[in-house]
């Protein structure tokens, strides 16, 4: 099978790998589409360490081709979205409906859940990113991260639900559910930020305040009807403008999708006493933040989310229902399609900010 293999930082090329077989509890998918996410780019750029050679890609959707031993929930022909959240279902966290915090899953090892690799080229072992390695014609994924979706859903439109879109929707709908009539600030309006705005709008937010330093991104948020107000953080005082839009009080919710030095402080300042702040982004890796304890004495809540804190088998089908009901515009987030052979171009377009979200389509 063809796969995009990353052997060195900033190098990726199509190679012919052995046809993979599912292990126990795993399913084999014929890929239909996969999103190209910032995390893939971070690894390509060398900002996030993984063992190489590795096949990247973790926003895959595909059709089940074969199932491994012990698989009970899937059969060949099933349409599947591969969630980035791989809960074991049995640990302390999973039993508390926090699969995103599962104690038995470690990311970025390049290995499958049993600690071995599933991809190969002759004698050479090839690693898989995030138990998916979706930049390939076939993928082996654990049954427990796979979500079967309605057969009438156009699978190639659902790639974002594996990671980015679900993270944004989940932040505003699951991790910190926005109340009807709420005022919401979203700092960083790339693909995930737009998804947060979509989630907040679905929850009935009154004011959707989009913040970014790239005017084109703010225009897109407005054009999609996802921003009632926009703030260009490179020229405007974010906190002052948010207060002026919210009767001097501050917003009810702020989502920091950037995670750069200063953005968390800005989010904390921009919410009202009793307001909520959720950190989603880690663009520059982990950063420190300093804020006054008075923010906490004024009962502000500061938290974060992994993958939108969704329970994939519950929430992804709900998001698909919203999409099919015409209430969730997944297509506008995906502005460019590529063939697998164009993966280098797709990563470059993302790096240069030329796309909100690129999608590789395998039948194209
Ligand atoms: Zn991702
Ligand atoms: Zn677990």
The ligand whose atoms approach the alpha carbon of 163 most closely is 1
Please tell me the distance from the alpha carbon of residue 191 to that of residue 179, in angstroms, as a whole number: 22
Closest ligand to C-alpha of residue 101 is: 2
Q: Which ligand is nearest the CA of 192, by number?
A: 1
Q: How far is CA 286 from the centre of its chain?
A: 17
Q: Residue 143 C-alpha to ligand 2 middle, in angstroms?
A: 14
Question: Which ligand lies nearest to the CA atom of residue 97 in the structure?
Answer: 2
- Per the CB < 8 A criterion, the answer to whether 28 and 20 are in contact is yes
Gap from CA of 184 to ligand 2 centroid (Å):
32
Please identify every stretch of the chain with a pLDDT value under 50, giving residue numbers as ranges.
none
Residue 5 host element (H or E):
strand 2-8
Q: State the pLDDT at residue 286.
A: 76
CA of 218 to the centre of ligand 1 (A): 22
Please give the distance, rounded to the nearest whole angstrom, from the Cα atom of residue 294 to the centre of ligand 1: 35
Ligand 2 centroid to Cα of residue 199, in Å, is 26
334-to-36, 171, 244, 357 alpha-carbon distances in Å: 10, 20, 33, 5
**How many Å lie between the centroid of ligand 2 and the Cα of residue 311?**
12
User: pLDDT tens digits, residue range 135-185?
Assistant: 999 999 999 999 999 999 999 999 999 999 999 999 999 999 999 999 999
CA 93 to ligand 2 center in whole angstroms: 6
Q: Cα angle at 320 between 278 and 65, to 5 degrees?
A: 115
C-alpha 53 – ligand 2 centre gap (Å)? 28
What's the CA-to-centroid distance between 97 and ligand 2, angstroms?
Answer: 9
247 CA from centroid of ligand 2 (Å)? 44
**The pLDDT of residue 364:** 57
How far is residue 280 CA from its own chain's centroid? 10
Residue range 65-80, pLDDT digits in tens: 999 999 999 999 999 9
CA 301 to ligand 1 center in whole angstroms:
26
Calpha distance 259→282 (Å, rounded): 5
Burial of 363 (0-12, 13-18, 19+ CB in 10 A): exposed
Q: Is the previous residue joined to 346 through a cis bond, with omega within 30 degrees of 0?
A: no
CA of 307 to the centre of ligand 1 (A): 8
For tokens 């700092």, name the residue.
187
CA of 100 to the centre of ligand 2 (A): 8
């Amino acid at each position: 099978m063809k796969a995009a293999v990353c052997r060195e930082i900033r190098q990726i090329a199509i190679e012919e790998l052995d046809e993979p077989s599912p292990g126990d509890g795993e399913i084999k998918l014929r890929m239909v589409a996969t999103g190209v996410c910032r995390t893939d780019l971070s690894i390509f750029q060398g900002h996030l360490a993984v063992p190489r050679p590795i096949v990247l890609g973790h926003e895959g959707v595909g059709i089940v081709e074969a199932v491994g031993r012990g698989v009970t929930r899937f059969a060949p022909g099933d349409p599947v979205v591969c969630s980035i959240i791989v809960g074991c279902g049995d640990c302390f966290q999973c039993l508390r409906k926090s699969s995103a915090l599962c104690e038995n899953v470690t990311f970025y090892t390049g290995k499958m859940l049993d600690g071995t690799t599933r991809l190969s080229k002759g004698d050479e072992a090839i690693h898989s990113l995030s138990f998916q390695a979706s930049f390939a014609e076939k993928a082996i994924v654990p049954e427990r991260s796979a979500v079967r979706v309605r057969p009438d859903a156009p699978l190639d439109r659902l790639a974002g639900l594996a990671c980015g879109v679900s993270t944004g929707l989940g932040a505003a709908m699951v991790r910190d559910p926005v109340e009807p009539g709420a005022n919401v600030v979203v700092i960083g309006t790339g693909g995930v930020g737009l998804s947060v705005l979509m989630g907040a709008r679905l929850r009935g937010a009154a004011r959707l305040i989009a913040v970014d330093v790239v005017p084109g991104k703010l225009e897109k948020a407005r054009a999609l009807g996802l921003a009632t107000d926009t703030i260009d953080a490179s020229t405007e005082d974010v906190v002052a403008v948010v207060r002026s839009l919210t009767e001097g009080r501050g917003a009810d919710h702020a989502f920091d999708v950037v995670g750069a030095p200063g953005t968390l402080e800005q989010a904390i300042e921009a919410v009202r006493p009793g307001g909520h702040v959720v950190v989603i982004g880690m663009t520059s890796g982990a950063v420190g933040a300093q804020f006054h304890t008075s923010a906490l004495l004024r009962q502000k809540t500061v938290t974060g989310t992994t993958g939108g804190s969704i329970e994939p088998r519950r929430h992804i089908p709900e998001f698909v229902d919203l999409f099919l009901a015409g209430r969730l515009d997944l297509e506008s987030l995906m502005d460019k399609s590529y063939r697998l052979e164009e993966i280098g171009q797709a990563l470059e377009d993302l790096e240069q900010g030329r796309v909100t979200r690129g999608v590789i389509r395998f039948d194209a």
